[in-house]
Amino acid sequence: MRDSSRKSSEQEKAPGYGIQIGYRTLSIRVEEKDLPSKAKQSADPADAIASIDVHLISTDEVYTRYSCHPTVGLEEAAVQRRSKDGKNVISPPPTQHWKKILNYIFGGFNFLMWIAFIVTLLSYKPLGSPPAAVNLGVAVLLVRLGLCHMLVIIISATFYAFVDWNASRIMKSIKSLIAHEAAVIRDGKQQLIPATDIVVGDIVVLSTGDRIPADLRIVAASSDLRFDRSLLTGESDMVPGSLDATSDNALETRNLALTSTFVTQGTCNGIVFATGDRTIMGRLVKMSGETKFKLTTIQKEIWFFTKVISSVAFSMFGISLLLFGVWLRTTYVGYETISVAIMNSIGCLTAFVPQGLPLCVALSLTIIARRMSKRHVLVKNLATIETLGCMSVLCSDKTGTLTAGKMAVESIAFLDSHLLVSEIDEKISEAPEPGFFAGLSALHHTARLCNGAKFDSATDNLPVHERNVKGDPTDTALLRFSEALSIPALDIDAPALLSSWIKLFEIPFNSKNKWMLSVVQETKTTEGDITERNSSAWILVKGAPDMLVKSCSTVMRSDGAIVPFDEASRQHMSDLQSNWSSEGQRVLALCRKPLDVLKPNLSPNEMEELMYSEICNLTLVGLVGIRDPPRPDVPSSVDIIRRAGVRVFMVTGDFKLTAVAIARQVGIITQHSVDTIDDVKAAASEKHLTDKALSAIKPSEDDPIRALVLTGEDVSTLTPFDWHIVVGQYTEIVFARTTPDQKMKIVEEIKARGDNTVAVTGDGVNDAPALKAADIGVAMGSGSDVAKEAAALILLNNDFASIPVAIEMGRLVFDNLKKVTLYLMPVGSYTEFMAVVSNVVFGMQIPLSSYLQVCFSITNDVVMSISLMYEKAEADLMMRKPRNARTDRLTDWKLFFQIYLFLGLMAWPCAMSMWFVYMDQQGLGFTDVFFAYNKWNNTPYHGYSSDQLAQFVNVGQCIYYVTMVFMQYGNLLAIRNRRVSLLQSNPLWGPRKNLAVPIGMVATALIAVINLYGPGLQRVFLTTPIPGMFWGPPFAFGLAILCVDEIRKLIVRTYPKASAKLFQVVLLILMPQITVVCCQNGLVKPLVSLWSIIMLFVCWFSRSAFLSALSDTNTHLFTIVI
């Protein structure tokens, strides 16, 4: 019951779940309908699907219905006529624009702005009625406040829409680079064409790993044909294919291959009976509508932060109203009306919210997406990049991923001799007679006829090595070798061979058997007709030597003689295999056996059973060594990935020695000594890891580097304690001869230990289960459709070097988002909030107007923070340990500590001091401004009229605003780097050059000037020029913040292990010094006293950290303190 519940839950979370529901619903409805005698037009998809009867008719009738020939296919004229029906493209579901618009308008912090806007209107009327002369000023303020809130909403919504449109455009342009092709038979030739050009009646040729391009009726199939229909059904079990109908329901029968599903095993041919929107998938997409929205990991982090900030903002809103109701309304009568109280409470709510943060997050992800698109990396979800930054283990397939996938036959061997392919012609010419190498004829015969790869007929006129081939790399290598091999003296000629032999049956290669079998029979030509000669058929087998040699009883010599396969011969061939494998060659055994009796009219399943029983007493024709060189960019990429703290494991189906040899070439294994399963078992018997939590099972930095090689057979014997040893003690691991199930098990076992974030790279069908099981699946662009569907990331240009770049981008996006948050909050939120608190709680005129609050958050801060999004990676970014995705949050207590008790605690007192200095110049001391409450309205106040007091407030607010703007310069330069000094990373030149920083500074300064000197803004929002002396100190404040942070970085670099505690020590040391500086500069003593009280509280609550930090450091720390 529990398993069933869990499976159901997983399905709900799976992408495409709406399609799966639609598929199952349609299937039930089709079952309930009677099959009509002919197709009829109906808006109901169930009627259209119930009218499908192509699966119920015979194969010959299918050919007749669609006017195509089994071997010729469609002729060009027929293709031209049928292409008028439209492209084979499924139309995307209509976008529900109204939902997007609502999300733009109410998304992020906009819902708080709407609440503020509505409450502002209510506070004007009816709560603020009537707007008598005494309330007229309040009414004007409320209108301005409402305009500010609406301005925020309009700007935010417009920006959200622009970023969404831009991101969608980028992703569409990347996806358009993926070329989906299909193999079809036209004019008697097999051709590769774009899948969009398929027409009804085309004969499509499918093999393992292919995505089905249209709805097909299967007309020819191998006995092991299997489909993956999980996209439709939600079930991962493979569905067998057949030639005959297994159900009247077109959705349930097994002789139809449906669009967008995959061939996971075997081969087949099918006739297209529906394309595009007329396919079953097309109808389901139309029914299911828009894909359901699902939060990504980074979106969850932002949403969590939004909820925290919103909750605090609402709390402040409520506390402000509560203070008015129980204290201010009765103690200071006339200080605030209900309208003013609501306005001030709204100020608490909006000031605490960093309105620019969601805009910056969206823009940052868009910038990263653009960078990845330039690398030709398809990211199915932008958040995948951030997850790549957490990668701690990379499990990579070998063939086509670490290696180039361009296999070529390099060596061949018989029992008594072996030679390089490049030496064949020379050796034959040196031999007394060609018959000394008669065995080459049998080897060529097996390599060419027992082969699943095919040349694209459109490239037949090109040299063999330039022709396009459809097939896996191993078969491709053998195909090119056997096609190019031509020795007239031995009657070795590929075209003549193909014309004189026919293939009767085939069992394609699969990862379990690790061999391929073909049954062929010779034919003879008589007066143009091909008839079967009364000769025996042959069983031809090729595959892994360790799987086939044990089934061989005889072996062939180079002259074609067959001798018994005795123990000495077996050892000789085994040694040869080991030698080749140690050089990095993939070794295949080619075997054959005559089949004297072949029963006619056997079904495919019966034929398969017969062939399995015949895999015995084979003749080992010879061994073939195939070289697949590593990609040139892999060794350097592996080195970068390992220096980033990511362990790189190889998981391959290849032979152990071959895998280890390639692993050494690319840098996955660097140790001379490589442990085996015996060493793991011996270490596990000690059981010294039993007391460790699963999250703690990982190699220590102090542990020596150890290498390990395990086979699939070894993996199946590992116990949980063994896995503790494998994952917890080894840095370099090669898993060889693994099956898809074993690959998936390896990924799951690694994920379960050490809090690992596991990425898997692969390109074949066998890699798909592991790609799905991994945290991040990475597929090569040249890989199978199944692999690309299972992966979250596709390297379109097959560039392995894109992986370290993606890791760096993932770490960079997280770093930059943290920097943006750290930049916005101290001033854009904290300093604004303290301005409102001073008004609500301490009875002071608000030192920052609502308009300047909004303008600073939406314009100044966003413009400056854009420069952070263009920051390059810090020098040590790829030297750090991977981030633990389960414990390291975007916003944690350390971040809030730095915001509210370090940067923010320097920022808001500086801005507030400028307010008090200006008021002091006007003859209004600290006590005249602080705790003024309703006395401010009792004009004349200290000889000033209400208009004069209002002008003082307006100028003071602009001073506060300008101080915030230019003080942010120092904050920006401080948080650009976590540890490196500005002297080594200035934004004007050098490796960390970022001209967006000075451009942002100039832009935000211009915005400030426009706000203060713009005539329209002065008239509407009461902004005003400020005295010249107040333009200078903000720069000094910014410089002070930068210098304090430089000292923090110096201590962090000097004492990296005690950085968190020393961070607090620096705070406690420097803050009193800043207080003294403020006092010495003649600032009002009450402000200094208030600051000192705050610092006393900070010191008291941080006393334990202070003492602990002192105890953890040496005497040199006291020198720094002094």
Q: Which residues are the active-site residues? A: 397
Closest CA to 890 of 373, 313, 375, 360: 360
- Cα distance between residue 31 and residue 706, in whole Å: 60
- Check if the beta carbon of residue 746 is closer than 8 Å to that of residue 652: no
Interacting residues of 282 by C-beta distance below 8 A, sequence separation 6+: 90, 91, 259, 274, 276
Report H helices in 33-177. 45-50, 59-65, 76-82, 97-106, 110-124, 133-175
CA distance 315 to 1029: 38
Strands (E), 449-514: 454-455, 469-470, 501-507
Judge whether 294 and 16 are in contact, CB under 8 Å.
Answer: no
The sign of the torsion formed by the CA atoms of 727, 730, 735, 736 equals: negative
Q: Is 1115 exposed, middle or buried (0-12, 13-18, 19+ CB in 10 A)?
A: exposed
Find out whether the peptide bond into 126 is cis, omega within 30 degrees of 0.
Answer: yes
CB contact at 8 A, 707 and 669: yes
SS (H, E, C) 528-558: CEEEECCCCEEEEEEECHHHHHHHEEEEECC
Residue 992, judged by CB atoms within 10 A of its CB (0-12, 13-18, 19+), counts as buried
Distance between CA atoms of residues 710 and 749, nearest Å: 14
Query: Within 13 A of 833's CA, how many CA atoms are on the CB side?
Result: 25
- Residue 408 forms beta bridges with which residues? 627
Residue 972 in tokens = 């920006």
Contact 1000, 1067 (CB under 8 A): no
Contacts of 898 (CB under 8 A, 6+ apart): 822, 1063
CA distance 804 to 795: 12
Q: Cα–Cα distance between 418 and 409 in angstroms, integer?
A: 13
Phi-psi group of 188: left, alpha or beta (phi > 0 → left; psi -120 to 50 → alpha; rest → beta): left
